[in-house]
């Protein structure tokens, strides 16, 4: 599969297929993250005369980073960027060694968009839960009202049997249920032109086709990309202190602020991960080894 993806990347991408290249690149970086030996071997086979075929993958990924949408795809891009940093210097993309600030800037931007997308999805879920609770509380009254309205909207012929009457009512109930499902799916924010976005754009929740498919990276046991990024940066600082300083030394004020905020969020994810591991292990083990005394002397 990796060879097919790499061969497709060597061919022209036609108009109307702008989303294809980012997806192909994400397959490559996923392979690089999973097994960099196999990925590098495949790249060398596709471009045997290139001194480092990974340069192309890195440069193209950074160039099309704004076209990467959704939670899953952004996570994969970040795992790929971390994989670049984790490679030995001789195998690493030259951009990481010569212009690391460009790489970290793209990483910060992807993280920022990832967090906004996660926040929007969480808000939409909360709204859906709230709507569901409200619907359940008023179901009895609504069902009664719906049946009355449905009968008023449509005069049923007197010759219909009881079965026909039941089918007609069920049809109206089905249409009402479908309308509710559509409203839930779209967030109820479709304008008259069907654009699906509200005027202020605050209800927008980005979702791509790939979000419909679960992979190992989407499971609860998958690595936390925030934790992985923090660990990667710490290892890179120890292994390549000079390159690391070049990467963070000349950041703009906005970039520096964004990086500090990202580090804070990464630390929060680390603590959350530690708490989750403790919970999975059965909770804290206090190991009170001291024997419980049978007599107490409060006079001492």
**DSSP, residue by residue, 55-88:** HHHHHHHHHTGGG--SHHHHHHHHHHHHHHHHS-
pLDDT of 102: 96
Flag whether pLDDT at 38 surpasses 90.
Answer: yes
Cβ atoms within 10 A of the Cβ of 156, count? 12
Q: CA-to-CA distance for 70 and 83, rounded, in angstroms?
A: 20
Per-residue model confidence (pLDDT) at position 214: 75
What's the CA angle centered on 72, arms 16 and 14, to 5 degrees? 15
User: Which of the pair, 129 or 259, is modelled with greater confidence?
Assistant: 259
How many C-beta atoms surround the C-beta of residue 212 within 10 A? 8
- Give the chain's mean pLDDT: 77
pTM of the model: 0.69
| Count of CA atoms in the C-beta half-sphere (13 A) of 106 | 25
- The pLDDT tens digits of the residues spanning 203-252 come to 445 666 666 677 777 777 788 999 999 999 999 999 999 999 999 988 99
Q: How many CA atoms lie within 13 A of 196 on its CB side?
A: 8
Q: What angle do CA 17, 18, 19 make, to 5 degrees?
A: 90
Under 8 Å between Cβ of 57 and 29: yes
pLDDT in tens, 271-289: 998 888 887 777 665 555 5
CA 197 to chain centre: 21
Using one digit for the tens of pLDDT, what is the confidence trace for 67-85?
999 999 999 999 999 999 9
Q: What share of the chain is helix, strand, coil (3-state, %, to 5)?
A: 70, 0, 30
Q: What is the pLDDT of residue 73?
A: 93
Residue 128's pLDDT is 66
Higher pLDDT, 294 or 221: 221
User: Among residues of the chain, what percentage have pLDDT more than 90?
Assistant: 45
Pick from 77, 114, 112, 118: nearest CA to 258: 112
Indicate the pLDDT class of residue 177, thresholds 50, 70 and 90: very low
pLDDT tens figures, 47-65:
888 889 999 999 999 999 9
pLDDT at 134: 62
Find the largest Cα–Cα distance for the chain: 97
């Amino acid at each position: 599969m990796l060879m097919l993806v790499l061969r497709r990347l060597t061919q022209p991408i036609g108009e109307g297929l702008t989303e294809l290249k980012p997806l192909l690149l994400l397959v490559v970086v996923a392979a690089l993250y999973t097994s960099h030996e196999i990925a590098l071997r495949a790249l060398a086979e596709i471009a045997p005369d290139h001194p480092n075929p990974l340069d192309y993958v890195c440069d193209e990924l950074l160039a099309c980073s704004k076209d990467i949408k959704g939670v899953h795809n952004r996570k994969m891009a970040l795992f790929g960027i971390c994989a670049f940093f984790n490679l030995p210097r001789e195998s690493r993309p030259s951009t990481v060694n010569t212009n690391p600030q460009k790489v970290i800037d793209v990483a910060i931007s992807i993280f920022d968009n990832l967090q906004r997308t996660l926040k929007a999805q969480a808000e939409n879920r909360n709204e859906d839960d709230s709507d569901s609770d409200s619907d359940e509380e008023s179901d009895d009254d609504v069902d009664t009202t719906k049946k009355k309205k449905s009968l008023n909207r449509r005069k049923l012929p007197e010759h219909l049997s009881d079965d026909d009457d039941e089918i007609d009512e069920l049809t109206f109930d089905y249409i009402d249920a479908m309308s509710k499902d559509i409203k839930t799916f779209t967030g109820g924010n479709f304008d008259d032109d069907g654009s699906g976005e509200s005027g202020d754009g605050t209800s927008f929740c980005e979702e791509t086709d790939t979000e419909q498919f679960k992979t190992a990276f989407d499971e609860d046991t998958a690595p936390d990309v925030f934790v992985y990024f923090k660990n990667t940066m710490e290892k890179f600082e120890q292994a390549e202190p000079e390159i690391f300083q070049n990467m963070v030394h000349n950041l703009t004020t906005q970039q520096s602020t964004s990086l500090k905020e990202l580090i804070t969020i990464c630390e929060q994810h680390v603590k959350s991960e530690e708490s989750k591991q403790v919970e999975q292990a059965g909770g804290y083990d206090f190991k009170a080894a001291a024997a419980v005394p049978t007599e107490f002397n409060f006079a001492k």
